[in-house]
Amino acid sequence: MRDSLSGASRADLHIHTMASDGTASVSQVLAHAEEVGLDIIAITDHDRIDAAQAAQQMALTNGLHVQVVIGEEISTLQGHLLGLFLHERVRPLHSLRRTIAEIHEQGGIAIPAHPLFPHPLCAQEGAIRGAANDRDPACRPDGLETYNPTIFGTSPRRRVGRLAADLGLATLGSSDAHVLSAIGRVWTTFPGSSPEALRDAILARTVSVGAGSDHTLTENPGIFGRQMLRNLIGLGQDLAGVTRPIWTFGGERRGRDLGYPGSRRRPARYTPDEER
């Protein structure tokens, strides 16, 4: 919801759906983003962009207020990296430096996700400094996720803020939502209202972290439990889909529901006629 006094808008740029390890469908994510008054969201499933592409089309087709940026949380060899404003999927398991360059090649924005937590999924200070000081500007990150409310983001938050300031990088806050109730829990504010204005603001470092609240110790087991249940349902759908051509005498193979119309087809593809 845009602040009428400051003119600033709200963006949550780190959200997962059923296409990766989230628990909500694309339509549920869009509805909740509308409900909590976000202006822009980024769908950032792990190593894929199909749900983000579907979300962008669904938001436009249904005339929603919330606008969708196509994103991806990419698994690099030095930790997770958010690629925003993408047109094509960025392949995982390359170096942080190479992955940033590939994001920039398609006009995207590169933001290390939940950095500095001592875990292989989180980029560490040496890797971030190395990329930020690279001789090639195309290999440098555009900002850091300085406010992530999950366990990965709470303990190193002050260090991440200091690192962003030291390197002159934009500071962003995002929910890293895997369940509906987490969407919009943390957001980034920026001047203007369009995705283009948001992209320009990140590059100009005129974004700022909005309000937020961390996950509690009692919330984390519940989120993990919902993720496990969603995965078990998906495994059952995969098994049924593999055997479907047998018991339907050559019927179309299907797979787990990835959270958007047409996503159970193989290969999955957004099919507006199946929207429900």
- Name the E strands within 89-221: 109-112, 143-147, 170-173, 188-191, 208-209
CB 253 within 8 A of CB 259: no
For residue 7, the SS3 value is coil
pLDDT confidence of residue 176: 97
* pLDDT, tens only, 7-65: 799 999 999 999 999 999 999 999 999 999 999 999 999 999 999 999 999 999 999 99
* pLDDT, tens only, 222-252: 887 888 878 788 778 777 765 555 555 556 6
**What's the count of helices (H) and strands (E) in the chain, helices before strands?**
8, 9
In the chain, the percentage of residues whose pLDDT exceeds 70 is 92
Q: Which of 248, 202, 237 is nearest to 85 (CA)?
A: 202
Instruction: Please calculate the CA angle 29-272-60 and round it to the nearest 5 degrees.
Output: 55
Q: Is 194 left (phi over 0), alpha (psi -120 to 50) or beta?
A: beta
Instruction: Report the mean per-residue pLDDT for the chain.
Output: 92
pLDDT confidence of residue 8: 93
pTM for the whole thing? Answer: 0.92
Higher pLDDT: 103 or 235? It is 103
